[in-house]
C-alpha cells in the first residue's frame, strides 16, 4: 500500500509540468469551478460495480479545452473509489455520520464537509480525499453505495456544493429504485439499460455541471 | 453473458457506440458534448412515478394465484424443507425491493400526496386516451404517450426526489427496523399493522412478529409451511437492510384465534455484536 501511493505520487510529479505549460488553461478552471470532471459509480453488496459513468464538462462548444480526467490517471479512479469504501462502511452505522463529532467518535469529522443536515444519514457528504480529488458517498436503504470522485484544479482544494450533490444522489437513488421495480432485474446485477444511463447523464448535467 | 474480452483500457472511446448503456466489461463511459442535449431514451420504467396509488388486489384473485404458486412448488419439491426454502425464495425478492421502495415513499413529505394524485389521475387518463387511439389507428399513439411521460419527468412532476427535502434516516438499530416491518411494511402488504412484536426472553437474538389471522394463508387449514412466503418477504427485507437473519413460521393458537401465526426472526450473531458496539448494551 505504501509502495503504491508513493508510485502515485511519482506519477503526479511527472505530470505537473503539463499543467504549468498552459496558464490560460489553468485560469479557466480556477474561475469556473463547475467544469470539474466527475467519476460516479454505484457499488453493490459484494463491492462490485453496478454502474459507472464519467461526467466531463459540457462546455466544449467554443473551442475551449475539453476538461476530463487525465488519460493515464483515469484508470486509477476505480481504485481510489474502492479505497474509500472502508470509510463509507464505517460511517454507514454511525448515528449521525454528518455530525462533526459522531457519537461513537470512531472516525473524526476532520475530512468531512460541514454544511449538511444532521438527521439525514443517506447522504454522507465528503468522506475521503486523494491528492486533491474529493470523494463523496451516499448509501441507499438497501445498502447500495453511490460514490463519486470529484476532480479538482491541479493545485487547489476541490469545493463541493453539498446541496447540489445531495440532490443528484437522491435523484439517482430514485432511478435505482425504479430499476429495482423491474421484476426482471436482479439485485446486485449491472444496470446496462441505456434509458438509465441517459437519465443519469441528464441529472449530472442538471446538478453537477450547471 | 456473451463471450466478451475484458478490455484493459477504458480510454478508447471508439470501440462502442455512444447510444448503448453501461457495459461493465468496458467500464465507465465518458459523456460527450454532442450528446448533451439528446433527449433521454423513452422508457416506461423510468418515467412512471413511484408514488403510492391506492390499488388493492381482490383477496380471491390473490388466493387463487397463491394457490397456484403453492401447487407448482409442491410438485417440484422433494421434501417439506425443500418446499419451504423455495417458497421463501419467492418472497425474498419482494422483500429486497420493499426495503428501498417503502423507505423512499416514506421520505416524501405528507402534503405532497394530494397534488400528485390529481396529477397522476390526469396523466393516466391522457395515456389511456392515447392508447385507445393507438389500438384503433396505426400504433403511433403508444409512442406519443411514452414521450408524454418523459416530458412530465423533465418537468419534475414524476420525480419524487425533487420534492424530498430530507430522506428518511436509514434504520440502524434492530428495534427500529423491526418497528418498520411491523408497522409500515405490514400495512403496505396486508392493510393493517401486525398484531404484536415481541422480543424473546430466552435468546437475545430472537424476535417475533405475531399475526392473528394471516391474510394469505387463512384458507389453508393445517401447518404453517405456506407462511414461508411471508417469511421470505421479511427475510429479504432484513437481509438487504444488512440485518442478516433466518425467519421461520410457527403456529401458536390462542383462544379463538386458531390461525394465529408467529414469525420467528433469528438474527445472526454479528448483528447483535454490531448493535452493542455502536449503540451500547
Q: CATH number of the domain at B59-107+171-279, out of 3.30.1380.20, 3.10.620.30, 1.10.10.410, 1.10.10.10?
A: 3.30.1380.20
Q: How far is CA A42 from the centre of its chain?
A: 10
Please, is A108 exposed, middle or buried when counting C-beta atoms within 10 Å of its C-beta (0-12, 13-18, 19+)?
A: exposed
Give this prediction's pTM. Answer: 0.76
Of B97, B162, B274, the CB nearest to A180: B97
Per the structure, the complete domain to which residue A145 belongs is given by 38-58+68-94+119-208
Query: Looking at beta carbons, which residues of chain B come within 8 Å of A170?
Result: 161, 164, 167
- Choose from A98-107, B97-106, B154-163 the range with maximum mean pLDDT: B97-106
List of E strands, B212-272: 245-251, 261-267
The domain spanning residue A172 has which CATH number? 3.30.450.70
End-to-end Cα distance, chain B? 48
The structural domains of chain B, with segments of one domain joined by +, span 59-107+171-279
Residues of A in contact with B38 (CB under 8 A): 198
- Is residue A49 in some structural domain? yes
Instruction: Give the model confidence (pLDDT) of A27-45 as tens digits.
Output: 333 344 445 788 899 999 9
Q: Residue A189: its chain B contacts at CB < 8 A?
A: none
d(CA A147, CA A139): 9
Q: Mind listing the pLDDT tens digit for each residue in B167-182? A: 888 999 999 999 999 9
Q: Could you tell me which residue, B193 or A108, shows the higher pLDDT? A: B193
Classify residue A27: in a domain, yes or no: no
pLDDT at residue B147 is higher than 50: no
B-facing residues of A in 93-112 (CB < 8 A) are 93-95, 104
Residue A10 touches partner B, C-beta closer than 8 Å: no
The Cα A14–Cα A30 span in angstroms is 22
- Distance CA(B10)–CA(B15), nearest Å, equals 10
Tens of pLDDT, residues B111-129: 775 444 433 333 333 333 3
Residues 124-153 of A with CB under 8 A from B: 139-143
Residue A104 within any structural domain of the chain: no
Mapping DSSP to helix (H, G, I), strand (E, B) and coil, where does residue B184 land? helix
> Chain B window 145-174: which residues touch A at a Cβ cutoff of 8 Å?
159-162, 164, 166-167, 169-170, 172
Q: Is residue A186 in a domain? A: yes
Give the pLDDT band of residue B143 (cuts 50, 70, 90).
very low
Report the C-alpha gap between B32 and B14 in whole angstroms.
12
Establish if A22 belongs to a structural domain. no
Burial of B278 (0-12, 13-18, 19+ CB in 10 A): middle
Question: What pLDDT does residue B38 have?
Answer: 61
Q: Pick the range with the lowest mean pLDDT from A59-63, A149-153, B88-92.
A: A59-63
Per the structure, how many domains does chain A have?
1
Q: Is the pLDDT of residue A7 over 50?
A: no
- Percentage of residues of chain B with pLDDT beyond 70: 72
Q: What is the ipTM of this complex?
A: 0.75
In chain B, which ranges are E strands?
A: 29-30, 196-199, 206-211, 245-251, 261-267
Residues of A in contact with B45 (CB under 8 A): 178-179, 181-182, 195
Amino acid at each position: 500500500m505504501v509502495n503504491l501511493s508513493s508510485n502515485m505520487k511519482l506519477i503526479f510529479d511527472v505530470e505537473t509540468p503539463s499543467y504549468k505549460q498552459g496558464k490560460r488553461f489553468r485560469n479557466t478552471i480556477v474561475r469556473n469551478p463547475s467544469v470539474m470532471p466527475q467519476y460516479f459509480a454505484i457499488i453493490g453488496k459484494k463491492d462490485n460495480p453496478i454502474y459507472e459513468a464519467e461526467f466531463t464538462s459540457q462546455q466544449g462548444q467554443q473551442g475551449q479545452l475539453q476538461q476530463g480526467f487525465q488519460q493515464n490517471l483515469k484508470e486509477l479512479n476505480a481504485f481510489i473509489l474502492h479505497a474509500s469504501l472502508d470509510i463509507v462502511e464505517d460511517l454507514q452505522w454511525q448515528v449521525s455520520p454528518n455530525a462533526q463529532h459522531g457519537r461513537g467518535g470512531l472516525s473524526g469529522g476532520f475530512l468531512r464537509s460541514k454544511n449538511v443536515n444532521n438527521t439525514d444519514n443517506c447522504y454522507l457528504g465528503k468522506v475521503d480525499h486523494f491528492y486533491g480529488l474529493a470523494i463523496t458517498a451516499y448509501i441507499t436503504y438497501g445498502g447500495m453505495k453511490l460514490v463519486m470522485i470529484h476532480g479538482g484544479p491541479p493545485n487547489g482544494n476541490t469545493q463541493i456544493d453539498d446541496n447540489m450533490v445531495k440532490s443528484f444522489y437522491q435523484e439517482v437513488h430514485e432511478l435505482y429504485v425504479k430499476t429495482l421495480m423491474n421484476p426482471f432485474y436482479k439485485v446486485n446485477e449491472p444496470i446496462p439499460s441505456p434509458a438509465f444511463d441517459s437519465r443519469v447523464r441528464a441529472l449530472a448535467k442538471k446538478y453537477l455541471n450547471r | 453473458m456473451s463471450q466478451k474480452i475484458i478490455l484493459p483500457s477504458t480510454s478508447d472511446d471508439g470501440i462502442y457506440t455512444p447510444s448503448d448503456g453501461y457495459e461493465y466489461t468496458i467500464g465507465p463511459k465518458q459523456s460527450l458534448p454532442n450528446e448533451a442535449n439528446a433527449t433521454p431514451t423513452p422508457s416506461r420504467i423510468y418515467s412512471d412515478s413511484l408514488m403510492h396509488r391506492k390499488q388493492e388486489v381482490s383477496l380471491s384473485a390473490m388466493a387463487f394465484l397463491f394457490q397456484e404458486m403453492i401447487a407448482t412448488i409442491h410438485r417440484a419439491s422433494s421434501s417439506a424443507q425443500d418446499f419451504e426454502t423455495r417458497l421463501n425464495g419467492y418472497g425474498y425478492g419482494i422483500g429486497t425491493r420493499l426495503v428501498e421502495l417503502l423507505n423512499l415513499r416514506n421520505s416524501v413529505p405528507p402534503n405532497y400526496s394530494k397534488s400528485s394524485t390529481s396529477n397522476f389521475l390526469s396523466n393516466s387518463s391522457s395515456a389511456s386516451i392515447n392508447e385507445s387511439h393507438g389500438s384503433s389507428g396505426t400504433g403511433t399513439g403508444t409512442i406519443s404517450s411514452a414521450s408524454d411521460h418523459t416530458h412530465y419527468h423533465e418537468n419534475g412532476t414524476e420525480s419524487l426526489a425533487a420534492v424530498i427535502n430530507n430522506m428518511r434516516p436509514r434504520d440502524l438499530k434492530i428495534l427500529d427496523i423491526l418497528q418498520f416491518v411491523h408497522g409500515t411494511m405490514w400495512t403496505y402488504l396486508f392493510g393493517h399493522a401486525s398484531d404484536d412484536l415481541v422480543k424473546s426472553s430466552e435468546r437475545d437474538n430472537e424476535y417475533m412478529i405475531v399475526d392473528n389471522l394471516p391474510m394469505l394463508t387463512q384458507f389453508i387449514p393445517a401447518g404453517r409451511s405456506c407462511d414461508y412466503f411471508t417469511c421470505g418477504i421479511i427475510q429479504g427485507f432484513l437481509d438487504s437492510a444488512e440485518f442478516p437473519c433466518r425467519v421461520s413460521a410457527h403456529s401458536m393458537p390462542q383462544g379463538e384465534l386458531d390461525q394465529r401465526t408467529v414469525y420467528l426472526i433469528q438474527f445472526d450473531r454479528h448483528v447483535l455484536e454490531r448493535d452493542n458496539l455502536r449503540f451500547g448494551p
